Structures are given as C-alpha cells and as structure tokens.
Amino acid sequence: MIPVQRVLITGAGSGLGQALALRFAAAGHAVACIDIHADRAEATRARLAGNGHVALAADVADDASMQALAERVLAAWGAPDILINNAGIASGGDVLEAPMAEWRQLLETNFLSVVRGTRLFLPAMVARGSGHIVNTASFAGLAGAPGMMTYGVSKAAVVAFSEQLRAECHGVGVKVSVICPAFFKTNLMQSTIGAERIRHLGQKLMERSPDSLDAVADRVLAGIAAGRFLILPTTHEPLRWRLKRFLPEWYFRMLLKRTGELSLGAK
C-alpha cells in the first residue's frame, strides 16, 4: 500500500491517466489532474473521491505552459510525491510517410514532455529526499514494429530516458518507473495522427485486446506501489519481452509474420 501522497498526472482527462486518477483518489491520495483541455481535467477531478484534488490545464509540448503549471502547482499545492508523465498522442505510418513536422510533434509531445515534467518537479523531490517519477511509454518503445515509426521512436526515447534517470536518481530517494503497455481498450486512437490505414489497424488491435482499461490501470497501480521499474501491464507483453531479449532473431521472424504487410517491402 502506498502511503497517502500527492499525485500529479498529465493526460488525466481521459484514458489511462483518468483511470489512475480515480484509483489514487479512491486510495485516499490527493490528485492533480492535468490535461491540455481544462474541461476534461475538471471532469476527472469532479469524479474523484475525497478532497484536496485540483484540475489544471497545460500543454505538455510547450515549455512556457509547463513552466507556468509547475510554478502554480509548487506554490499552491506543493511538490508531488508521485509524478506521472502520462500525456501523449499516437501516430501511424512508416519512415517515408511521416513528414518532419510529425517527427517534431511526436518528440515534443511524447518524449520532451517527459523531460519537461521531470526537470520541473525533480528538484523538489531531490531536496525532499523522496519521490517517484512514472513515465508512460509503450511496448512499441521496447520492440519495434513496422507502421508506427514516429510513435515507436518517441516511446523508445521515453524508455531510454527513464533508464538513464533511474541511474542518475540512485541514492537520492527518488524512484523511477516506466509503463510499457501494448494495445488495450482505450481512446488513444482518437488522437492519432499520420496514416489513416494505421489508425484503422490500431483500432482493430485494441478491440481484439484481452486487456481492459481497468485491468491495465490496476496492474500499473500495483507496479507503482511495488516500486517496479519496468511495468508491463498488458497480458502478453511480459512473455514477448522475454522472447525479444533472449531470442531476438526468432522474435523478429514472428513479428514479420504478423506485421509484414506493413513493411516497405510489402508495398
């Protein structure tokens, strides 16, 4: 069980961020719900059990917006005990389809948002000698597949950053976790940019997933409570991760059997 703490969650207006906010509040924690849409942040806050919660709007892809958020949170609410850098968007398409503008957008929103959140709130955690930073990546950041180039690379950067951050924070009382789910039933496809064919494929994979949003959120919460670094909250990914690590060529052949129609050679 996690002691009563203050939890800040970006992307809390929907999906996994909202589900985690509900769970932390139900456990007695104070939650700061952050979303680019103020009405969505407030809608989540209104659903939370207990008191002491706040709802604020911020664009995680914008330096000034995040700086203003941090100043407001630190002054009025205090330094979070748990920071969940969760906000992000999806994209679809191969390396030749994705324009440079898409690369910049995905890196700013999915990766540099994590860097921003960490840089803004980590100093207070270090000064206090305690804290937990949780970054939402994806299994696509651990195991590349065709058709999701910008998304996979942006999430791989989150994984690498989290590993580096974990090493840098060793000995200062700050824990680090990274969440790497595969497709599960959520509304991520609503924010997808890029190739339309990949949006349709992603939607199908979500519908076929054995994992519900509630199940994934429960597993994430358990992973955070246990202080686990790598959290793989979808059903098949713990085994797939082991296969990729220990049998990489076999894993690659199996991957191509499932997704080969998305490769450049199939076009």
Rounded Cα–Cα distance for residues 27 and 50 (Å)? 9
Rounded Cα–Cα distance for residues 40 and 44 (Å)? 6
What distance separates the 2 farthest-apart alpha carbons in the chain? Answer: 56
> Is 251 considered catalytic here?
no
Length of the chain counted residue by residue: 267
Comparing C-alpha atoms, which of 98, 101, 15, 32 is closest to residue 61?
A: 101
Rounded Cα–Cα distance for residues 14 and 17 (Å)? 6
* Integer CA distances (angstroms), 83 to 57, 73, 107, 224, 234, in order: 16, 12, 20, 11, 22
Comparing C-alpha atoms, which of 180, 177, 198, 181 is closest to residue 189?
A: 198
Which tokens in the block code for residue 178?
Answer: 């990274």
Q: Alpha helices of the chain — where are they, by DSSP H?
A: 15-26, 38-47, 63-76, 100-106, 113-128, 149-168, 196-208, 213-225, 237-246, 248-259
Question: 24, 121, 139, 151: which one is catalytic?
Answer: 151
Rounded Cα–Cα distance for residues 224 and 1 (Å)? 10
Rounded Cα–Cα distance for residues 150 and 140 (Å)? 10
Q: Which residues are catalytic?
A: 151
